[in-house]
Structure 1
Amino acid sequence: MSDSKYAFEPAQFKVICVPGDGRCLFRSVAHGACLRLGKPSPSENLQKELADELRAKVADELVKRRKDTEWFLEGDFDTYVQQIRKPHVWGGEPELLMASHVLQMPITVFMRDHKSGSLLTIAEYGQDYGREDPIRVLYHGFGHYDALDFHPSGAKSKLFQK
């Protein structure tokens, strides 16, 4: 994870809205993984399946890395893992970190700066898997994540619209 903030122009991104069904973090990361691998955007049903599969693998990864993760989880570890396996329980930083390990891909989290309109990098995970072309997700600050498709040229300037 990185504390440094990098600003990007909204024209460089297309927000891919995902349903707020408790799976949004997992849906966004799964969607981003498809984009990163050059696969077509998954349908909503496939996105849900991929999200649920990723959630299960993330929970397994938490257990596998228990010695390294237990200290930063709130409450009892076993209860936390049991809860995160449920399809409508929100994920957060621990799940993003584990998802980077499961997918062996870097993940960058952005948040919109409401004053400037820029997107700020607020967290980075999995840099040991490289820094180029990470999975990008947008955190809205109220428990919801969306996927981001990156267009460095900014040529698709009208795409940062929901």
Structure 2
Amino acid sequence: MAYNKGTSLNPREEKDDADELRMAVKEVICENHKERLQYEEALIAITVDESLKRYCERIGRPDFWGGESELLVLSKLCHQPIIVYIPEHEHTKGGWGSGFIPIAEYGSEFGKGLKKGKPRKVVRLLYSGRNHYDLLV
């Protein structure tokens, strides 16, 4: 999101921003029962693999890496459209191709005309397998 605003972050600022976003997800999912209900799709994604209690313990740790459920929450919480891609060669027969294929989209309603403010630039992420995402620029 900082990149889309033209802001450059040093590694420390990047870590601090990531920690802040992780804590925002934790607050919504783990600490606010009323607000949690607005993120049913994320709750389902979380509880497929583990209990909500266990998830809430893990997300509080600084070594926690987010995945689909966190993208679901953050897109809605930050009014941020997010598109996740995979390398084309992973999808095409024979392993050739140099482009990217979109595999998931979150918060698309925030990339179009909004009632308040202007549309948000899409955050584009490259899915590198097993809950690892890189910024795609």
Taking structure 2 as the reference length, the TM-score comes to 0.74
Match of 2:45 in 1: 72
Specify which structure has the bigger relative contact order, considering alpha-carbon pairs within 8 angstroms and separated by 6 or more residues.
1
Q: Is 1:97 aligned to 2:78, yes or no?
A: no
Match of 1:3 in 2: none
Please say if residues 45 and 68 of structure 2, whose CA atoms lie closer than 8 Å, have aligned partners that are also in contact.
no
Please say if residues 68 and 131 of structure 2, whose CA atoms lie closer than 8 Å, have aligned partners that are also in contact.
no
Count of aligned residue pairs for this structure pair: 116
- Shift of residue 40 of structure 1? 1.9
Q: Which amino acid aligns with 1:44?
A: P
Q: Distance in 2 between matches of 1:41 and 1:97?
A: 25
Please say if residues 127 and 134 of structure 2, whose CA atoms lie closer than 8 Å, have aligned partners that are also in contact.
yes
Match of 2:136 in 1: 148
1:109-128 matches, cutoff 5 A: 109-114=84-89, 115-128=96-109
| Aligned-partner SS, 2:26 | helix
Q: Distance in 1 between matches of 2:124 and 2:102?
A: 10
Alignment deviations for residues 71-109 of structure 1 (CA, whole Å, 9 cap, x no partner): 332221121122122111221100111111221111111
Q: Which amino acid aligns with 1:86?
A: R
Of the two, which has the highest radius of gyration?
A: 2
Taking structure 1 as the reference length, the TM-score comes to 0.64
Q: Which runs of 4+ in 1 moved over 4 A?
A: none
